[in-house]
Chains A and B, each alone.
Chain A
Amino acid sequence: AQSVTQLGSHVSVSEGALVLLRCNYSSSVPPYLFWYVQYPNQGLQLLLKYTSAATLVKGINGFEAEFKKSETSFHLTKPSAHMSDAAEYFCAVSEYNNNDMRFGAGTRLTVKP
């Protein structure tokens, strides 16, 4: 079955600094990959998704992610962090021939003033 591993349960950056959240996936077939964000006491909402079109995917709020098949990675980046980016971020994977969707353990992003 497919799975994702998120490296780093907590990431702290200063406001204006680069944000890098890491995700590696395991899949035997081409995957669909997603990044979701969760603000406190809320459900998850989609930031961006990869579905085998462009390898560099742009999402909402200035986030983007690059699919690297050779590294089985789908890391999330944002050039300049804002205080409002503080949240928990989840990477998720689904396979084109599978009906389920699996999530990673999440990375909590803290943004320092």
Chain B
Amino acid sequence: DAGITQSPRHKVTETGTPVTLRCHQTENHRYMYWYRQDPGHGLRLIHYSYGVKDTDKGEVSDGYSVSRSKTEDFLLTLESATSSQTSVYFCAAAQGRGTEAFFGQGTRLTVV
């Protein structure tokens, strides 16, 4: 996993509550990504970061926000969780454009 750690690995939460997922990397990669994986949709990009405090929206950013105050940490927040956000969330990190992305083990989030 090249030093990518996601926490928590599993979470069950109630509709309407805020949730924060954490991604931590130890390799000083500049780029970091949050994806969600759902059957039939593959991985869809939620948000990404290309440096500390530099973030941008991906394909499915509604209802999500991110923050990156340090190179090693990239936080994904579900502002008010909904059942449609039940998914497996993956974090990835890469040194630069066109370079290999290294993935965490995923976080399985269930919103009830």
Determine whether A94 belongs to the interface, using a CB cutoff of 8 Å to chain B.
Answer: yes
Question: Which residues of chain A have C-beta atoms less than 8 A from B105's C-beta?
Answer: 42-43
What is the number of residues of chain B that contact chain A, defined by CB distance less than 8 Å? 27
Q: When the two chains form their complex, are residues B50 and A99 in contact, meaning their CB atoms are under 8 A apart?
A: yes
Q: When the two chains form their complex, are residues B40 and A100 in contact, meaning their CB atoms are under 8 A apart?
A: no
Question: Which residues of chain A have C-beta atoms less than 8 A from B4's C-beta?
Answer: 43
A21 to B103, CA, bound (A): 22
Q: When the two chains form their complex, are residues A101 and B90 in contact, meaning their CB atoms are under 8 A apart?
A: no
Cβ of B96 to closest chain A Cβ, rounded Å: 9
Chain A proximity mask over B24-51: 1 for CB below 8 Å, otherwise 0: 0000000101010000111111001010
Q: When the two chains form their complex, are residues B33 and A101 in contact, meaning their CB atoms are under 8 A apart?
A: yes
A100 to B92, CA, bound (A): 11
Q: When the two chains form their complex, are residues A103 and B42 in contact, meaning their CB atoms are under 8 A apart?
A: yes
Given contact pairs A94-B97, A100-B58, A101-B33, A43 touches B42 in the complex (Cβ within 8 A): no
Residue of B nearest to A9 (CB): B40
Residue of A nearest to B41 (CB): A105
Given contact pairs A43-B106, A44-B103, A98 touches B42 in the complex (Cβ within 8 A): no
Question: Which residues of chain B have C-beta atoms less than 8 A from A46's C-beta?
Answer: 100-101
- 9 smallest CB-CB distances across A and B, nearest first, come from A43-B103, A32-B98, A105-B42, A103-B43, A106-B42, A99-B50, A44-B103, A46-B100, A103-B42
Q: List 11 A-B contacts (CB under 8 A).
A: A9-B40, A43-B104, A43-B106, A46-B100, A90-B43, A94-B98, A98-B97, A100-B33, A100-B58, A103-B42, A103-B44
Chain A residues engaging chain B, CB cutoff 8 angstroms: 6, 9, 32, 34, 42-46, 49, 51, 90, 92, 94-96, 98-106
